Amino acid sequence: MKREFKLAVAIFIAIFIIDQVVKFGFANLGWDANGSVMSLKLAYNYGVAFSMFSFLDEYLKYIQLFIVVLGSIYLYKNIYLFKEYYIAIGLLYAGGLSNILDRFTYGAVVDYFYWHYGFEFAIFNFADVMINVSVAIIIFIQIRNNRREKNLKEKSSL
């Protein structure tokens, strides 16, 4: 368990720092760049994905922090889940808490990846990508575990 915790913390620290440094560059140093497929363009998201819930304005950061606290309590009470999903949890916490810090620092989440080739896609950031990667890892582990259970049941019924 110590090994998993140390690795999750290392992942968290690395992703969190990288994301905050890049966001600082876009918010304060004008790192914008235009391309034919994708542009790097500063945008502030006052909501969550696709600006949903932006009407919650100042309350959103506190709601999100409350959700993180609830999730942490749940993981503490179900430590076996942490052991199985520690990489995804490190990525998820890094991305989520980095975006929450943006709300306290900039008043909104700093976004900068803008895909515009063939279709226009929402502007997003590195933390958003890490959150999606963590969800993909969780889904992968769930599918793998379900297949293992199914195979064990089939073998035991023979």
Give percent of the chain with pLDDT exceeding 90.
79
Which DSSP string corresponds to the chain? -HHHHHHHHHHHHHHHHHHHHHHHHHHHS---B--SSEEEEEEEESSSGGGTTGGGGGGHHHHHHHHHHHHHHHHHHTHHHHHHHHHHHHHHHHHHHHHHHHHHHTSSEEEEEEE-SSS----B-HHHHHHHHHHHHHHHHHHHHHHHHHHHHHHHH-
- Catalytic choice (19, 57, 102, 128): 128
Q: pLDDT, tens digit, for every residue of 99-119?
A: 999 999 999 999 999 988 888
Q: pLDDT, tens digit, for every residue of 9-33?
A: 999 999 999 999 999 999 999 999 9
* Under 8 Å between Cβ of 40 and 32: yes
- Reported as a pLDDT band with limits 50, 70 and 90, residue 120 is confident
pTM of this structure? 0.90
Distance CA 92, CA 95 (A): 5
Number of neighbours of residue 110 by Cβ within 10 angstroms:
27
Distance CA 101, CA 82 (A): 23
111 belongs to the catalytic site: yes
Q: pLDDT, tens digit, for every residue of 62-74?
A: 999 999 999 999 9
The pLDDT score that the predictor gives to residue 158 is 67
The residue whose two tokens read 């998993």 is 4
Contacts of 99 (CB under 8 A, 6+ apart): 64, 109, 125, 127, 128
57 belongs to the catalytic site: no
Q: pLDDT, tens digit, for every residue of 74-90?
A: 999 999 999 999 999 99
